Amino acid sequence: MSHHVAVLISGAGSNLKALIEAQQAGQLAVEFSVVLSNRANALGLKHAAAAGIPTVVLDHNRYPDRESFDAAMVAALQPYAIDTVVLAGFMRILTPVFVEQFAGRLLNIHPSLLPLYRGLHTHRRALENNDQEHGCSIHFVSNVLDGGPIVAQALVPVLPGDDEDTLAQRVQTAEHLLYPQVLQWRALGQLALTDKGVLLDGNLLTAQGRQFAIAEGSHSLLALGGAHGQPS
């Protein structure tokens, strides 16, 4: 039985592209039912079209408030019987109208090691604080901005001489590895959000979720802190 996924984007769609490539490589057992963007010129729409994925554009400027826009998104996704909604560079703060409709089925990726650096300019803030490591986090979305329960994190080093661009590139590489892994857990029925917290293979995750590093010299994830939840 297919696991139906909707992806929400606002821009270039690099994470969408990584997810599509993982699916095409046989590493991700999902069906991308629809890609929705709030911007008609989002480059990511071209990635969707090239992969034969239906697209929907809803211009948020045409709605009087966030709630009415979110209600329109809910209505647009309803025909697709979505199992998981993936936020992939969707630059809108969601209201409870949307979040509660997809509670436990709504994932976001954020370019920091949450709870550090919620919001924007995460790479700049990590550099300003002289952090030794940085990374990305995937979490279930709640009504708190970048505050939902964390599923997984990928850690990357902050290197001497890094600027925002070089650090952003390293984090983006991690994002492109981590998102397909987490979505595959969802597709296989291994990942769920419960009243107790995030469960992976029936085991309760810690507040930081499953943590990974990028294996040196390769484009693969290395699980930290034990074998449970390692990529297959």
Residue 165, φ and ψ in degrees, nearest 5: -70, -45
139 is catalytic: no
- In-domain check, residue 229: no
Q: How many domains does the chain have?
A: 1
What domain range includes position 8? 4-223
- In-domain check, residue 232: no
Q: Which of 110, 123, 134, 139 is catalytic?
A: 110
- In-domain check, residue 231: no
Q: How far from 54 is each of 79, 110, 168, CA to CA, in Å?
A: 12, 25, 30
C-alpha gyration radius of the chain: 17
- In-domain check, residue 230: no
Joined tokens for residue 157: 């080093």
Q: How far from 225 is each of 110, 132, 213, CA to CA, in Å?
A: 22, 19, 11
CATH number of domain containing 21:
3.40.50.170
Would you list the DSSP string of the chain?
A: ---EEEEEESS--HHHHHHHHHHHTTS---EEEEEEES-TT-THHHHHHHTT--EEE--GGGSSSHHHHHHHHHHHHGGG--SEEEESS--SPPPHHHHTTTTTSEEEEESSSTTSS-SS-HHHHHHHTT-SEEEEEEEE--SSTT-SPEEEEEEEEPPTT--HHHHHHHHHHHHHHHHHHHHHHHHTT-EEEETTEEEETTEE--TT-EEEEEPTTSSSEEESSSSTT---
- In-domain check, residue 22: yes
pLDDT tens for the chain, 232 residues: list them.
Answer: 799 999 999 999 999 999 999 999 999 999 999 999 999 999 999 999 999 999 999 999 999 999 999 999 999 999 999 999 999 999 999 999 999 999 999 999 999 999 999 999 999 999 999 999 999 999 999 999 999 999 999 999 999 999 999 999 999 999 999 999 999 999 999 999 999 999 999 999 999 999 999 877 768 899 997 433 333 3
Joined tokens for residue 67: 């709630």
Round to whole Å and give the CA distance between 187 and 30.
6
pTM of model > 0.85:
yes
